Amino acid sequence: MIERFADDDTIVAIATPPGEGGIGIVRLSGQKALRIAEGMFSAKNRVRLSRAKTHTVHYGVIAEKPERAAPAKVLDEVIVTVMRAPRTYTREDIVEINCHGGMIPLRKVVELACRCGARLAQPGEFTQRAFLNGRIDLVQAEAVLNVISAKTDAAFRPAMQQLRGTLSERINALREKLIGLIAPLEAGVDFPDDVADRRSKRNFTAALEAVQRGVQELIAGAEKGVILHNGIRVALVGAANVGKSSIMNALLEYERVIVTDISGTTRDVVEETLIMQGIPVRIADTAGIMESACVITKESIQRTFAFIEQADLVLFVVDASRKLGKTDREVAEKLRNKKVIVVINKTDLASKIDEKTLKDVVPGARWVRISALKKTNLSALEKQIGRMFFRGTLSAQDEVLVTGVRHKEALEQCLRNIQNAAGAAKNNGYDECLIFELRQALQSLGVITGETVREDILDAIFSRFCIGK
Ligand SMILES: Nc1nc2c(ncn2[C@@H]2O[C@H](COP(=O)(O)OP(=O)(O)OP(=O)(O)O)[C@@H](O)[C@H]2O)c(=O)[nH]1
Ligand SMILES: [Mg+2]
């Protein structure tokens, strides 16, 4: 667990990525942000930062002791933005110093700020303060990370929606409904057997079902959301020499891996990322399966089998110009519980493969016929991969709100509790059980927005951020 410092410290960090750029920004946040900045900054128009109005911009220099600075002590020529609490990212006073975008001026400015009383920020500490000060909830804090790290438009869109609070609104509406169900139960109103109460029981059941539907709708989009954000792992697997490495190169559109006509060319698993149908795909070339006494070949085949376990999807490659062999069957045997697309490669050559037998070997799998050499039908393969995950391509109207595994798990836990509660209500179980399950459901929703989340989970979330965010 990372050590967290006191919250009333004023923190400082470089907010822009490392490297050279037109400008680089040093950000200060905390009660003393203005005073610390004032101690380092000399404005051209002599304005004192501690008196500056909020959301104003000032030109000047950063120097060791600005009032008496000899020119040599000037660290950089800068633009300073003053933002006073509470209308800021962290809800604290913030000063942003736009420096020249090299690592030397930026570091020197940060060091000077530390000498003037600031402390270096921890990873994600600015965003964590925004969360702790109640400006954003946990969903939004995590969305900041997703917006920054989104690799595709499809991943960016739901992250932006989360940042704007759409998911939080949905979760909070469900929470309120649950509270509305729990409150009368806790007040001791139970279901005696007269007519009025039978009606109230019906209302209760209907309201609980509505919450259940709401949770289920969010879960339904979650699988897509997680894929959109994290991408999928695809493995090219098959007997030696069927053309796996050639397919890898064809998909990547450059000669990434070695291709020869010798069986056993590929030894290590080689992974690369590409975007297919708007999804980030990590595609892996693996060693071909073959009979061999060679220690190296045996080890590489071992690695292929181990890798299959981690893959979300296996492209089972077979050679159209050969009869289906023992090795092909052996590979198919290992793919029993996996999502599989059969890729019939080398269709530019005369066909010898018995497709009927192939169907028996991998029952129910989808097929694509391609030629890696002639680069034919690769787009059909890409489409098939997309379809495999989204049953049709993902459209802009599709509502994907949940993109995190953490959120998905909490929703699933919430659903289980609601189902238990529904069961208890139906069987006229004790109200204590009902209340317990509903409270648990409420808590699971709170875990998502950060209302009831444990501190170690918070630490884990914010430590994924970079310093300066
Ligand atoms: N005619 C034809 N030849 C192909 C095609 N794809 C691959 N080849 C040839 O098949 C041979 C083997 O190709 P690789 O891509 O190295 O096969 P691999 O499955 O990676 O082989 P290992 O790494 O040994 O398991 C090479 O000579 C390729 O040029 C194709 O679509 N058509
Ligand atoms: Mg290969």
Give the position, in ligand 1's atom list, of the atom nearest the Cα of 239.
25
Euclidean distance between CA atoms 464 and 145, whole angstroms: 8
Answer whether 377 contacts ligand 1 (Cβ < 6 A): no
Identify which of 447, 383, 391, 394 has the alpha carbon closest to the alpha carbon of residue 225: 394
pTM of this prediction? 0.75
Euclidean distance between CA atoms 201 and 362, whole angstroms: 51
Nearest CA owner, ligand 1 atom 13:
243
Mutate to test the pocket of ligand 1, among 259, 267, 283 (most ligand atoms within 8 A of CB): 259
- Residue 133 pLDDT: 93
- Residue 463 pLDDT: 86
Q: Which listed ligand is nearest to 270 at the C-alpha?
A: 2
Whether residue 221 contacts residue 167, with contact meaning beta carbons closer than 8 Å, is answered with no
User: Omega into 184 within 30° of 0, i.e. cis?
Assistant: no
- Say if strands 313-319 and 270-276 run parallel, antiparallel, or are unpaired: unpaired
Q: CATH 3.40.50.300 occupies which residues in the chain?
A: 231-390
CATH no. for 11-136 = 3.30.1360.120
- 320 CA to centre of ligand 1 in angstroms: 11
Q: What is the per-residue burial (b if ≥16 Cβ within 10 Å, else e) of 296-323?
A: ebeebbeebeebbeebbbbbbbbbbebe
- Residue 2 pLDDT: 41
Nearest CA owner, ligand 1 atom 9:
243
Q: Which CATH number fits domain 231-390: 3.40.50.300, 3.20.20.70, 3.10.20.740, 3.30.420.40?
A: 3.40.50.300
| C-beta atoms surrounding 263 within 10 Å | 15
At the top level of CATH, the class of 140-227+404-450 is: mainly alpha
Q: Which listed ligand is nearest to 240 at the C-alpha?
A: 1
Euclidean distance between CA atoms 356 and 343, whole angstroms: 15
- Residue 54 pLDDT: 97
- 242 CA to centre of ligand 1 in angstroms: 5
Q: What is the pLDDT along the chain (469 residues), one digit of tens a residue?
A: 344 455 789 999 999 988 888 999 999 999 999 999 999 999 998 999 999 999 999 999 999 875 555 555 889 999 999 999 999 999 999 999 999 988 899 999 999 999 999 999 999 999 999 999 999 999 999 999 889 888 888 788 888 988 999 999 999 999 999 999 998 888 775 555 555 566 677 888 999 999 999 999 999 888 788 888 888 999 999 999 999 999 999 999 999 999 999 999 999 999 999 988 778 899 999 999 999 999 999 999 999 999 999 999 999 999 999 999 999 999 999 999 899 999 999 999 999 999 999 999 999 899 999 999 999 999 999 999 988 877 654 554 456 788 888 999 999 999 999 999 999 888 877 778 889 999 999 999 999 999 888 888 888 888 888 888 8
Answer whether 432 contacts ligand 1 (Cβ < 6 A): no
Q: CATH 1.20.120.430 occupies which residues in the chain?
A: 140-227+404-450
Calculate the CA 248 to chain-centre distance.
Answer: 25
- 454 CA to centre of ligand 1 in angstroms: 52
Residues with a beta carbon under 5 angstroms from ion ligand 2: 244-245, 265-266
Q: CATH 3.30.1360.120 occupies which residues in the chain?
A: 11-136
Answer whether 360 contacts ligand 1 (Cβ < 6 A): no
Q: Which listed ligand is nearest to 378 at the C-alpha?
A: 1
Q: Which listed ligand is nearest to 375 at the C-alpha?
A: 1
- Residue 131 pLDDT: 94
